[in-house]
Amino acid sequence: MRICRRFVAAAGLAAALAAIPTAQASDRMSGAAGQIRHIVVIFQENVSFDHYFGTYPVAANPPGEPAFHAAPGTPHPVNLLGSSLLTHNPNLANPARLGRSDWPLCDLSHDYDPELRAWNGGKMNRFLQESVDYERSDRPGPGYGSLPAGVTGGVTTNNCTTPLPNHTGDQATNKEAMNYYDGNTVTALWNYAQDGVLFDHSFDPTFGPSTPGALNLISGQTGNVRVPADSDDQHSCTDLHWALDLVRDCFAPSGTRTLFNGDTDLRDGVVIGDPDPAFDQCASTNTVEMLGRNVGDLLNAHGATWGFFEGGFRPSVPAHGNDKAVCGTRHRAINPFNGFKGSEKTDYTAHHEPFQYYKSTANPAHLPPSSVEMIGRTDRANHQYDMTDFRAALAHGILPAVSFLKAPRYQDGHAGYSDPIDEQHFLVDTINRIEHSKFWSSTAIFIAYDDSDGFYDQVSPPILNFDSAIIPGPVVGGVQWPGNMCQPAPDAPNPSISATPGRCGYGPRLPMLVLSPWVKANTVDSTTMSTDAILRFIEDRFAGGERISSTSLDNIAGSLTDVFSASQPHLDPLILNPKTGEARARG
């Protein structure tokens, strides 16, 4: 076992970035990392590290729930919810444990500005105030969060919208922002941590919701945006003057076209919200196009097979003539551990599919591959597929060099319409299939998340990239609310990659794990990094070490090469039960 505590210092990053070579031959990757021929990235939704791993490896083990007992010698990560944070938390409520029947949870406010206010300059003490679920006149900012599907009224069984005792300016609060699951609910993930590497210092590349996280995963940046001429949500900054009375969301020069959808989705040419991709017939009319390159372009240039596979991508009604494709397949939550099933939800979410923002890698009509044998190669599907295509390829003995997997909505873990048990079904079924295949001996599976959904995490992220926009908090009831504090101290050296509006990072701490025969089991790695480290590893392994651009975050991402440290592969996979997350078999 190993506990690695390597931290990246913020100071001097600009100079370090300039010294990083732009290319590194992939054939120089030796040792265990050089044995990896297939990378699978399972990219889930909206979970902070503490929300799933805050008490790892200690679970409550109440009767009636799958038990979790850590293996002897399990390392304890360095930053957990210790007793002081559980009983004397700096927020307005203490964290509380959630059980397997504690669902549905509310979809919390987790856009760029609310997450910055919750961070509060590193104090990590405003999660309740910034997580309210619907519009109120006594708090700042447009609401982002929502009640779970099928829940009516202002209170769920978990009291997620119950106000705490009145605090000046803090009337509307959300207790669920502080709560967490343990190994009796997210049992499979805790068992995967026992069998692989858990990263306890992996952060969101920036603050904010799903789209920035997805774009960073494939391109290391969220800028270079163009608003299509036919988008229904174009406005000038002067058109939005009425919104500035509450939150200052528009910083482009007067008259510059921007995008507005409840919260601002763009800020000065940077994506900070969830606009849909321009090259997707199943998208809304609130769309943007990303310019520049992504990792798919690099993989194509280097002749590597790859694909992005998302549940519900296959249209329920194919495009025909002038009629666009319709992505209408739906599922209802199957969580068998409580009576609440929720309403049916569509499987596909356009803004979860990052390659559809780029013309070079998009499949606008959601065309299927020309054959199973062409999955991973360039044809009419252009590397964009349904999850059923991944399973079909695997069954036919095909696995691309790089596969990005996105669950259908009801299984992606997103609060409000998914839950940990449905998510576990997807994770375990998918991983079992890969581990049973002939590819397991040369595969690395990454499990990562796109954002935190506003759930509490007690570790303040290292700010490596500052925000040049000054966003004062609004005045509510005579009280000045915190604004964007992502600014360097006046006398501090500039450690930023760039000072860009809407690009503060790193953001909240997120779970990340890797499973492979070539990693040392039951390891905790405390290297400071973000999900861009996965992008960098893909580039190093299959794209000759080429980076997306000189300013993309893959340039400063932590290296994952060292985690592949096994001298001999451990080929017996851990097969789990998808219902309970407990071990079903070994090998």
Query: Mind giving me the DSSP string for 361-418?
Result: G--TT-PPPS-GGGTTSSSTTTTEEEHHHHHHHHHTT---SEEEEE--GGGS--TTT-
Look at residues 75, 65, 339, 90 and name the one whose alpha carbon lies nearest to residue 182: 65
CB neighbours of 203 closer than 8 A, spacing ≥ 6? 461, 462, 505, 506, 507, 508, 509, 510, 528, 529, 530
DSSP state of 584: E
Domains defined along the chain, listed by start? 1-223+288-462+508-587 (3.40.720.10)
pLDDT (0 to 100) of residue 175: 78
Look up residue 37 and give its two tokens. 């021929």
Q: Residue 106's pLDDT is what?
A: 78
> In this structure, what are the phi and psi dihedrals at residue 87, rounded to the nearest 5 degrees?
-120, -20
Phi first, then psi: give them for residue 6, nearest 5 degrees: -110, 125
Q: Give how far Cα 121 sits from Cα of 5, 202, 472, Å.
A: 24, 19, 13
pLDDT in tens, the chain (587 residues): 444 433 333 333 333 333 333 333 344 577 889 999 999 999 999 999 999 999 999 999 999 999 999 999 999 777 788 889 999 999 988 999 999 888 778 788 888 888 988 898 899 998 987 776 433 334 434 344 554 444 444 444 444 444 333 333 333 446 789 999 999 999 999 999 999 999 999 999 999 999 999 999 999 999 989 888 766 544 443 333 323 222 223 333 333 333 333 346 888 889 999 999 999 999 998 899 999 999 999 999 999 999 999 999 999 999 999 999 999 999 987 764 444 455 678 999 999 999 999 999 999 999 999 999 999 999 999 999 999 999 999 999 999 999 999 999 999 999 888 999 999 999 999 999 999 999 999 999 999 999 999 999 999 999 888 887 766 766 655 666 677 788 766 665 555 566 778 889 999 999 999 999 999 999 999 999 999 999 999 999 999 999 999 889 999 898 999 999 888 899 999 999 999 999 986 66
Least Cα distance to 188 among 511, 583, 515 occurs for: 583
| The pLDDT value given to residue 558 | 85
Q: Collapsing DSSP states into helix, strand and coil, what is residue 19?
A: helix
In 3D, which of 401, 563, 541, 471 has the Cα closest to residue 207? 471
pLDDT at res. 82:
84
Q: What pLDDT is attached to residue 583?
A: 93
- Identify the pLDDT of residue 552: 92
Beta strands in 116-256 (DSSP E): 197-199, 202-203, 225-226, 234-236
pLDDT for 324: 96
* Contact between 256 and 236 (Cβ < 8 Å): yes
Model-level pTM greater than 0.85?
Answer: yes
Write down the pLDDT at residue 103. Answer: 73
Helices 387-395 and 420-436, axial angle in degrees (round to 10): 30
Q: What is the dihedral of CA 370, 374, 375, 380, to 10 degrees?
A: -40
